[in-house]
Amino acid sequence: MGDPSEAVRTYLDGVTSEKRRRDAEKLLELMSRVTGETPQLWGSIIGFGQYHYKYPTGREGDVAAAGFAPRKAATTIYFVDGIGRYGAQLERLGPHTTGVGCLYIKDLDKIDLSVLENIIAESYRTLTDDTYMLRAREGTPATPAE
Protein backbone atom coordinates (compact mmCIF):
# COMPACT_ATOMS: atom_id res chain seq x y z
CA MET A 1 0.00 0.00 0.00
CA GLY A 2 2.96 2.36 0.47
CA ASP A 3 3.92 4.82 3.17
CA PRO A 4 0.76 6.51 4.56
CA SER A 5 2.57 9.82 4.93
CA GLU A 6 3.50 9.68 1.24
CA ALA A 7 -0.18 9.26 0.31
CA VAL A 8 -1.10 12.18 2.60
CA ARG A 9 1.63 14.35 1.08
CA THR A 10 0.46 13.53 -2.47
CA TYR A 11 -3.13 14.35 -1.46
CA LEU A 12 -2.13 17.71 0.09
CA ASP A 13 0.00 18.60 -2.92
CA GLY A 14 -3.19 18.30 -4.99
CA VAL A 15 -5.10 20.88 -2.90
CA THR A 16 -5.39 23.85 -5.24
CA SER A 17 -6.43 26.56 -2.77
CA GLU A 18 -3.35 28.09 -1.15
CA LYS A 19 -5.34 28.92 2.03
CA ARG A 20 -6.74 25.37 2.34
CA ARG A 21 -3.28 23.87 1.79
CA ARG A 22 -1.77 26.24 4.41
CA ASP A 23 -4.53 25.37 6.90
CA ALA A 24 -4.10 21.65 6.14
CA GLU A 25 -0.37 21.86 6.93
CA LYS A 26 -1.19 23.50 10.30
CA LEU A 27 -3.81 20.86 11.11
CA LEU A 28 -1.45 18.08 10.06
CA GLU A 29 1.09 19.28 12.61
CA LEU A 30 -1.50 20.00 15.33
CA MET A 31 -3.33 16.67 15.02
CA SER A 32 -0.09 14.67 14.77
CA ARG A 33 1.11 16.30 17.99
CA VAL A 34 -2.20 16.00 19.87
CA THR A 35 -2.87 12.38 18.91
CA GLY A 36 0.70 11.09 18.69
CA GLU A 37 -0.41 9.30 15.50
CA THR A 38 0.93 9.23 11.95
CA PRO A 39 -1.58 10.66 9.45
CA GLN A 40 -3.22 8.23 7.06
CA LEU A 41 -5.56 8.78 4.16
CA TRP A 42 -9.10 7.44 4.75
CA GLY A 43 -10.61 8.14 1.34
CA SER A 44 -10.46 11.95 1.12
CA ILE A 45 -10.03 12.43 4.88
CA ILE A 46 -6.66 12.76 6.57
CA GLY A 47 -7.10 10.65 9.69
CA PHE A 48 -5.15 10.05 12.88
CA GLY A 49 -5.42 6.85 14.87
CA GLN A 50 -8.57 4.81 14.77
CA TYR A 51 -11.36 3.72 17.01
CA HIS A 52 -13.83 0.90 16.93
CA TYR A 53 -17.51 1.77 17.07
CA LYS A 54 -20.41 -0.54 17.81
CA TYR A 55 -24.02 0.59 17.83
CA PRO A 56 -26.86 -1.14 19.71
CA THR A 57 -28.17 -2.21 16.27
CA GLY A 58 -25.11 -4.43 15.93
CA ARG A 59 -23.47 -2.30 13.27
CA GLU A 60 -19.77 -1.84 13.96
CA GLY A 61 -16.55 -0.84 12.28
CA ASP A 62 -13.32 1.13 12.47
CA VAL A 63 -12.86 4.81 11.59
CA ALA A 64 -10.22 7.50 12.08
CA ALA A 65 -10.34 8.81 15.67
CA ALA A 66 -9.47 12.34 14.51
CA GLY A 67 -9.48 13.75 11.03
CA PHE A 68 -9.93 16.62 8.65
CA ALA A 69 -10.34 17.35 4.97
CA PRO A 70 -9.42 20.51 3.05
CA ARG A 71 -12.69 20.97 1.14
CA LYS A 72 -13.40 23.69 -1.41
CA ALA A 73 -15.79 25.76 0.74
CA ALA A 74 -14.01 25.24 4.09
CA THR A 75 -11.70 22.94 5.97
CA THR A 76 -13.81 20.23 7.58
CA ILE A 77 -12.74 18.76 10.92
CA TYR A 78 -14.56 15.59 11.92
CA PHE A 79 -15.85 14.89 15.44
CA VAL A 80 -17.54 11.53 15.41
CA ASP A 81 -18.48 11.94 19.08
CA GLY A 82 -20.66 14.89 18.02
CA ILE A 83 -19.86 18.58 17.74
CA GLY A 84 -22.72 19.40 20.15
CA ARG A 85 -20.57 18.14 23.03
CA TYR A 86 -18.27 21.14 22.64
CA GLY A 87 -20.70 24.08 22.74
CA ALA A 88 -18.92 26.05 25.47
CA GLN A 89 -15.53 25.71 23.78
CA LEU A 90 -16.96 26.55 20.36
CA GLU A 91 -18.23 29.88 21.72
CA ARG A 92 -14.57 30.86 22.25
CA LEU A 93 -13.24 29.37 18.98
CA GLY A 94 -13.86 32.18 16.50
CA PRO A 95 -15.63 32.13 13.10
CA HIS A 96 -16.92 28.67 12.18
CA THR A 97 -20.04 26.70 11.30
CA THR A 98 -21.01 23.20 12.37
CA GLY A 99 -22.87 20.08 11.34
CA VAL A 100 -23.78 17.13 13.56
CA GLY A 101 -20.25 15.76 13.55
CA CYS A 102 -18.33 18.39 11.59
CA LEU A 103 -16.67 21.71 12.25
CA TYR A 104 -16.22 23.95 9.20
CA ILE A 105 -13.48 26.57 9.28
CA LYS A 106 -12.78 28.95 6.41
CA ASP A 107 -9.56 30.42 7.83
CA LEU A 108 -7.49 28.85 10.61
CA ASP A 109 -5.73 32.20 11.18
CA LYS A 110 -9.01 33.67 12.47
CA ILE A 111 -9.70 31.11 15.19
CA ASP A 112 -8.16 30.35 18.58
CA LEU A 113 -5.93 27.35 17.85
CA SER A 114 -5.55 26.49 21.55
CA VAL A 115 -9.34 26.09 21.83
CA LEU A 116 -9.34 23.91 18.70
CA GLU A 117 -6.47 21.84 20.08
CA ASN A 118 -8.38 21.24 23.34
CA ILE A 119 -11.51 20.14 21.46
CA ILE A 120 -9.52 17.75 19.26
CA ALA A 121 -7.68 16.31 22.29
CA GLU A 122 -10.93 15.76 24.22
CA SER A 123 -12.63 14.13 21.24
CA TYR A 124 -9.63 11.89 20.55
CA ARG A 125 -9.51 10.75 24.20
CA THR A 126 -13.26 10.07 24.19
CA LEU A 127 -13.06 7.96 21.06
CA THR A 128 -9.92 5.99 21.88
CA ASP A 129 -10.62 5.18 25.54
CA ASP A 130 -12.81 2.21 24.56
CA THR A 131 -15.34 1.10 21.97
CA TYR A 132 -17.51 4.15 21.29
CA MET A 133 -21.21 3.34 21.39
CA LEU A 134 -22.96 6.57 20.38
CA ARG A 135 -23.66 8.25 17.06
CA ALA A 136 -22.54 11.87 16.65
CA ARG A 137 -26.02 13.28 17.30
CA GLU A 138 -26.24 11.30 20.57
CA GLY A 139 -22.97 12.54 22.11
CA THR A 140 -23.31 14.09 25.54
CA PRO A 141 -21.68 17.40 26.53
CA ALA A 142 -17.98 17.01 27.22
CA THR A 143 -16.47 18.04 30.50
CA PRO A 144 -13.52 20.36 29.85
CA ALA A 145 -10.16 18.86 30.79
CA GLU A 146 -8.73 20.21 34.02
Per-residue pLDDT at 90 exceeds 90: yes
Domain presence at residue 55: yes
Whole-number pLDDT of residue 144:
43
Whole-number pLDDT of residue 143:
46
Domain presence at residue 145: no
Whole-number pLDDT of residue 55:
78
Quote the number of domains for the chain: 1
Per-residue pLDDT at 2 exceeds 70: no
Q: What is the pTM of this model?
A: 0.85
CATH number of the domain encompassing residue 101: 3.90.1150
Domain presence at residue 138: no
Q: What is the mean pLDDT of residues 12-26?
A: 95
Whole-number pLDDT of residue 27:
97
Per-residue pLDDT at 25 exceeds 80: yes
Whole-number pLDDT of residue 3:
53
Whole-number pLDDT of residue 4:
57
Domain presence at residue 40: yes
Domain presence at residue 58: yes
Q: Which domain covers residue 60, as residue numbers?
A: 4-132
pLDDT digits (tens, 9 = 90+) for 37-73: 999 999 999 999 998 877 788 888 888 999 999 999 9
Question: How many C-beta atoms surround the C-beta of residue 125 within 10 A?
Answer: 15
Domain presence at residue 143: no
In this structure, what are the phi and psi dihedrals at residue 63, rounded to the nearest 5 degrees?
Answer: -145, 160
Domain presence at residue 124: yes
Whole-number pLDDT of residue 129:
79
Which amino acid is it at 6?
A: E
- How far apart CA 131 and CA 53 sit, in angstroms, is 5
Q: What is the mean pLDDT of residues 97-125?
A: 96
Domain presence at residue 139: no
- How far apart CA 62 and CA 51 sit, in angstroms, is 6
136's enclosing H/E stretch is none
**Percent over 70 (pLDDT), the chain:** 86
Whole-number pLDDT of residue 1:
36
Per DSSP, 56 falls in state: T
